[in-house]
Amino acid sequence: MHLGKLSRPVAVTATALLIGSLAVAPPAGATAAPAPVPLEGRITDATTGEAVPGACVDVEFTTYLTPIATVCADAGGRYVLDARLASQVGVRTRAYAAGYVDEWGKGFRHAFASSVTLNPGSTVVRDFALGRDAGELRGTLRYKSGNPAGMVLLDFHPGGAEAAPVARLWTGIDGTWSLPALAPGSYVIRSNAGSAQLLSAPVTVTANAATTADLTLNAYEQPRRRLSGTVRDTSGEPVGGARVTLWLPAYGEVHSVDADAAGAYAFPPLPGTFVGQHYLVARAPGFADLWSRDKPHPASANRISSHPAEADGWTIDFVMAPPAGTTVTGTLTDADGTPAIGLVQVRQADGALHTGVSGPDGRYRFNNVRPGDVTLQYFTAGPMQYASGKVAAEEADVYPVAPGATLTVDNRLHGPTGVLEVRTVDGVTGEVVTTACVTVGKAEICDPTGVHRFEGLLPGTRLISVDGLPYHYGGGQNVVVRPDGVTMATLKLGPQTHAVARVARAADGTVPAVCLRLVAVYGTDQWSPASNHFCNHDGAGGDVRESFAAGTVSGRFQAFVEPYDVSRFGRQWLGAAGGTGRRAEAAVLEFTDQKGTTLPTITLDGAGGITGRIDSAFATSGSVRCVRYAPEFITGRGVCVTAGQTYELTGLGPYAWELEINTGHNEALTWSGGAGNRSGATGVQVTAGQTTRFDQTLKAWGTRVTVSDSGNDWITVIAHSAITGDEVSDNMAMQLTTVWGLPAGPVYLHYLGETDCWYRGGARPSAGLDRAQWVGGALHLSANDIVEIKIKPGVNCFAPRPELLPATIRPSLSGDLRTRLTAAVTAAVRTLTAQTQRPAR
């Protein structure tokens, strides 16, 4: 099985699933408590608060607006939908009584957006307060141009915009709208696009009267699109008078037009963005309803936007046929034989799909089914089940349906009798993996025996997910859980490259909370900062573990340790036997693919700090000076100050620290003591509980290198010290970019643009040598220089990463002679020294 590549290396999985079944006696079931009713509430008079006996509530399926049940209130005004619920169902409810205005719930006097979701095992309480008075609110919505703003969603808020809406509707194609049964009072009208586009002044609705509110929409005026076509019968004859309707799920009919005698229909110009989400249905006497893309039911019909579009809109034709008279009916019951409300689907061999809901008596009925083979599937609170009594799609019974026939399929659902045992093993050794966690649905089990047992599952196809990190990759697969016996599954987990760390206890016996960052040694690609950060605590210093592990990638790394409490413990590079402030003394950690590497024990020491000033020998320099003790992806730019200000570094371990000082543009990157690279840096000694004073004067202007290529894409250039491999500077721009502030000495330029390569600045080799293996190949920079390079992949830029040079390297005559001569001439013609004036940058 191939699960493909995910975004993180640690998520790449080679998980295999072996499924078997073991026939054993099913577990004995306990007597279940009565299921709660799915819906109940009380219907009262909005004015008096008294019960309204005999008031009724219609419950209908939200998506396709089909009726499910009608229940009425008792003498106390209480109504109950007393039925078993097999699956989650979205419904909308309409309460009504003689002498009262209908209400749809949540205070809505309009059906749209008043739906509620019923869930098995829980009860929704929806009360209604019916009022006797109503007024009409109507109007026209227009753009600022005066053109109608059709098919725009409006919300109606009682009292003010901060109140929840009590009505929602779409404006007509001509921008008109009407709410005929609003309760008297004040309303604010908003558009679906937000108050910046429409927020009306308060509008007052009066009982038994109509109020007009014409509104202006302050929004982009949607371009108009054409929607037209023809309606013909199977012999090609026009179906004159056929009605073609724009239709929305959970809303219903939006606008209709009739076909002319030639069978042609055309809607008025429609707003192009909004119309695409609608469906089309054609209806005519003597013909079966036909939905867009030749479907008998909207469940498998296509939205207008999925039809091929033409320059000015859509042409959608219909070919209608007489009704086949084929019907599918049946009764749905739960595991104990009680009729149940639930979502039911009829799937046809040609891809047509019908979706409906069974009533409280379990009965369901689908009309307009086309002759041919059908299967039935049933939603549950868990996986889908199938007729008759099946738990997998490939096992579902297939029923042939003849023209004019009625097919009756009853189905009894399985209850929560499934038992699943998942065994996690190493995919290489076959040994049991005891550190994995397995998730099925909302349940997670982390059994240290490596056998994870789930009981009381609804049977069917379920997704098993496993988290094997950090020792193994995670993964997942579907498995069919049987309704009886025990379904067995074995997950083979691929070994994960990982680090194992341990923190030594402090003097008081507690385990310090720490985080580690893995920093790639030159030659290994640096992992993204978010991925190489792992801790022995919960991120807030709690739930501290003495030993911990994390997934990583193969390669050579060093570890930077960051204590959570840096007032007590100092940061450090992890050495082979304790902490250090010098990266060169940090342990080099070798990570091998699919293996674990144990790190040296992390022993923390006290914390101290460094403070001082960074001055410049150049009077004209006003640059910000940034000091950092670790690479930029750990510290960011570091602690940055301006001329005359004092920097302060805190929370450092009591070691000699190499400090990097960078202005970004003007002065050259400088290490503590004035070195141009880390190998020559002077260590600044930190003492626990004290602050060390360290001042540095920047004495060299940086060199800038401008890199271009022949393409038009974005390019990135990263300058590395050719001696330590540290990143010195980087920049990204379109076609041409410059890296600034480079110190004198050898650097490697890593180019990322039309290709990924390293610039080689050495002498041209003899014909017998591979250019990619030039000796050195570093660009030797002078101080205060300007260098321009044009990248030519395969000529002066090659894929292999060059090797580091020894710290004693000096420029040689075999270097890039052209660069040397250019630098010499440039220096000779300068009339002002760098100490008094910096060349224009």
Topology, domain 9-26+417-493:
Immunoglobulin-like (2.60.40)
pLDDT recorded at residue 812: 41
Helix (H) or strand (E) holding 819: helix 817-829
Q: Are 708 and 759 in contact (CB under 8 A)?
A: no
The dihedrals phi and psi of 801, each to the nearest 5 degrees, come to -75, 130
Using only the alpha carbons of the chain, give its radius of gyration.
37
Question: CA 705, 709, 715, 716 torsion: positive or negative?
Answer: negative
Range of lowest pLDDT (51-65, 272-286, 449-463): 272-286
How many residues are there in the chain?
841
For residue 621, whether the previous peptide bond is cis, meaning omega lies within 30 degrees of 0, is no
| Whether domain 39-130 has CATH 2.60.40.1120 | yes
- Tell me the percentage of the chain whose pLDDT exceeds 90: 78
Q: Is 45 helix (H, G, I), strand (E, B) or coil?
A: strand
Q: Which architecture, in CATH terms, is 608-698? A: Sandwich (2.60)
Residue 63 pLDDT greater than 50, yes or no: yes
Rounded to 5 degrees, φ, ψ at 633 are -70, -10
Q: Cα angle at 256 between 113 and 237, to 5 degrees?
A: 140
Cα 183 from Cα 711, distance rounded (Å): 67
Q: What is the pLDDT of residues 544-603, one digit of tens each?
A: 999 999 999 999 999 999 999 999 999 999 999 999 999 999 999 999 999 999 999 999
C-alpha distances out from residue 298 to 87, 263, 323, 378, Å: 21, 22, 16, 18
The first and second tokens of residue 645, run together, are 């200000």
**3-state secondary structure (DSSP) of residue 765:** coil
- The CATH superfamily label for domain 224-320 reads Aromatic compound dioxygenase (2.60.130.10)
User: Residue 358 has which token pair?
Assistant: 């069974």
174-178, 567-571, 831-835: which range is least confident on average?
831-835
Beta-bridge mates of residue 534: 516
Distance CA 376, CA 651 (A): 67
Residue with tokens 């410059």: 738
> Residues 21-28: what's their mean pLDDT?
36
CA 181 vs CA 102, 114, 131, 178, 668: distances in Å: 8, 15, 10, 9, 76
Decide: helix, strand or coil at residue 692: strand
Domain 135-217 in CATH: superfamily? Carboxypeptidase-like, regulatory domain (2.60.40.1120)
Cβ distance 778 to 719 under 8 Å? Answer: no
- DSSP reduced 3-state for 822: helix
Contact (Cβ atoms closer than 8 angstroms) between residue 57 and residue 68: no
Q: Tell which CATH architecture fits domain 327-412.
A: Sandwich (2.60)
pLDDT in tens, 239-290: 999 999 999 999 999 999 999 999 999 999 998 777 888 999 999 999 999 9
- Dist CA 334 CA 336 (whole Å): 6
Architecture of domain 703-829: Sandwich (2.60)
Lowest mean pLDDT among 221-225, 317-321, 416-420, 524-528: 524-528
Nearest to 273 by CA among 303, 243, 228: 303
DSSP-H helix ranges across 648-705: none
Mean pLDDT, the chain, integer = 89
56 class by beta-carbon count within 10 Å (0-12 exposed, 13-18 middle, 19+ buried):
middle
Cβ atoms of 573 and 582 closer than 8 Å: yes
Q: Could you tell me which of 451, 420, 426, 419 has the C-alpha nearest to residue 437?
A: 451
**On the CB side of 67, how many CA atoms lie within 13 Å of its CA?**
6
Would you say residue 823 has pLDDT above 80? no
Instruction: Please report the pLDDT score of residue 1 as a whole number.
Output: 29
Per cent of the chain over pLDDT 70 is 89
pLDDT category of residue 212 using cuts at 50, 70 and 90: very high
3-state SS, 618-662, equals CCCCCCCEEEECCCHHHHCCCEEECCCCEEEEEEECCCEECCEEE
- Alpha carbon 417 to its chain centroid, in Å, reads 34
In the DSSP assignment, the letter for residue 766 is P
Measured between alpha carbons, how far is residue 635 from residues 693, 724, 731 in Å?
A: 20, 19, 18
Q: What is the pLDDT of residues 590-637, one digit of tens each?
A: 999 999 999 999 999 999 999 999 999 987 667 799 999 999 989 999
What gap in Å lies between CA 815 and CA 777, rounded to an integer? 8
Cα 521 from Cα 501, distance rounded (Å) = 19
Geometric angle at alpha carbon 72, from 68 and 75, rounded to 5°: 165
727-755 as b/e, with b when 16 or more CB fall inside 10 Å?
bbbbbeeeeebbbbbbbbbbbbbbbebee
Higher pLDDT, 3 or 408: 408
| H-helix or E-strand spanning residue 292 | none
The position carrying tokens 């012999």 is 235
3-state secondary structure 240-277: CCCEEEEEECCCEEEEEEECCCCCEEECCCEEHHHHCC
d(CA 317, CA 263): 10
d(CA 841, CA 838): 8
340 pLDDT higher than 90: yes
Q: Are 444 and 497 in contact (CB under 8 A)?
A: no
